[in-house]
Amino acid sequence: MHRFIGSYRQKLPVYASSLWLDSVQAYVDEALKYKSKGFKAYKVHPCGPSDMDMEIHTAVRAAVGEDMILMSDPVSEYTLSEAIKVARQLEDLNYRWLEEPFRDYELDKYAKLTRATDIEIVGTETTRGGPWGIAQAIKFDAVNTVRADVSWKAGITGTLKSCHLAEAHGMNCELHTTTMGPMDMANVHVSCAVRNCDFFELFVPEDIFQAPMRQSYYDFIDENGDIHAPEGHGLGVDIDWDLVDDNCVSHRSYSN
């Protein structure tokens, strides 16, 4: 599919993206696990409060060394002062970005944080209105990088529009996981059709998110931690329709 929507490349790096874990050591162990698999990047979803988040940030960086790209996504409601404190710590630890320290609609807080710190501030994951909603964050200089995905931003077309909008303003649009195999692979195709997305987000443990795709994510991820766009028809993946039918509680049929 990526060939029909403007193919730019055929693969891009994967980052393992944690769930909320119950201890500092659990984050350390998970980051090391995916580094051993060849992944070049890992994103912490720290469990809060902010002091605990900072402890996690420090421990993960110490464990994986300076050669692994790290990000933090607290999915939080930090105060502005907390967010500035955490952002400055992440700058010192050489993290790539701080994502969603506030609710996406708090554009004034985002703008103040972006002005106060040098680390990349990422938002708009849950912003409503597709590219039109993202445009407001860009207009008010609220973030350095925007977010989109095919499940929350009006499908493949809406996500492409979001990427192109960001590109027109000199910004990246980093695609967010959809937490479902086939839609994640749609994200891969979109990512390979644009040049302003640096990573593919893989929620881990990945085996619980790949359904109802028959393939494993690792059918497309190589030993260097890059994911390749499938080359088959459409999304290039097979759906386990028996699994879908067995778990379906309602459906609607359409005919031409």
Using one digit for the tens of pLDDT, what is the confidence trace for 63-106? 999 999 999 999 989 999 999 999 999 999 999 999 999 999 99
CA distance 235 to 135: 28
CA distance 118 to 149: 26
Alpha helices, H only, 117-240: 130-139, 155-168, 181-193
CA distance 20 to 77: 15
Beta bridge partners of 28: none
Among candidates 200, 233, 194, which has minimal Cα distance to 218?
200
Percent with pLDDT over 90 in the chain: 96
pLDDT at 252: 87
Q: What is the CA radius of gyration of the chain?
A: 18
0.85 surpassed by pTM: yes
**CB-based contact 111:137 (threshold 8 Å):** no
Among candidates 65, 66, 61, which has minimal Cα distance to 46?
61
pLDDT tens by residue, 98-146:
999 999 999 999 999 999 999 999 999 999 999 999 999 999 999 999 9
CB atoms within 10 A of CB 100: 24
Beta bridge partners of 174: 147
**According to the 3-state scheme, what is the secondary structure of 206-247?**
HHHCCCCECCCHHHCECCCCEEECCCCCCCCCCECHHHHHHH
Burial string for 106-126 (b: 16+ CB within 10 Å, else e) reads: bbebbbebbeebebbbbbbbe
Q: Which one-letter DSSP state was computed for residue 30?
A: H
Among candidates 145, 108, 95, 111, which has minimal Cα distance to 125?
145
